[in-house]
Amino acid sequence: MNIKAGDLCKHFKGNSLIEKNIYEIIAVDVIYTGEGANKLLDNLVVYKNLFQEGKIFTREYDDLIGELSEEKQKQWDQKHRIEKLTEDEIKIVKSEQFIKEKLEYMEKAR
């Protein structure tokens, strides 16, 4: 699986798109240049949660797209930590109805 800037992805946790975190990939191949790191961090991915204002994250590429354990694959019906949304899922996630339901779900989960 390859991801690139602009891709929309779903996190593995959650039984439906409403329950899953939906991310937009902002940048790939980012390099950490700060001091004090125990190891050079390169190939980082910067991504944001589409439905939570100000939630921006970074993670190593291989870890972000890493394959889940067999147990988690069965539990969440997903093979990787994040997976790109299909064209049909993108249409759903961008629909007014989904956005309304997602925001209501998030409000109840608080």
Find the farthest-apart pair of alpha carbons in the chain and give their distance in angstroms, rounded: 46
| Residues pairing with 12 in the sheet | none
Establish if 38 belongs to a structural domain: yes
Q: Which pair of tokens denotes residue 108?
A: 């109840």
pLDDT at 84 over 80: yes
- 51: exposed, middle or buried (Cβ count in 10 Å: 0-12, 13-18, 19+): middle
Strands 82-84 and 8-11: antiparallel
pLDDT, tens only, 20-58: 999 999 999 998 877 765 666 778 999 999 999 999 999
Q: In which band, very low, low, confident or very high, does the pLDDT at 82 lie, cut at 50, 70 and 90?
A: very high
Q: What is the pTM of this model?
A: 0.89
Residue 91 lies in a domain: yes
Structural domain span for residue 60: 8-109
pLDDT of residue 39: 62
Do residues 7 and 84 touch, judged by C-beta distance below 8 A? yes
Residue 15 lies in a domain: yes
Residue 2 lies in a domain: no
pLDDT averaged over every residue in the chain? 93
In a domain, 33, yes or no: yes
What total number of domains does the chain contain?
Answer: 1
Tokens of 17: 């798109």
Q: What does the pLDDT average to over 59-69?
A: 95
Q: Residues of the chain with pLDDT > 90: what percent?
A: 84
For residue 1, tell me if it sits in a domain.
no
- pLDDT band of residue 79 (cuts 50, 70, 90) is very high
Q: Is residue 50 part of a domain?
A: yes
Q: Is residue 58 part of a domain?
A: yes
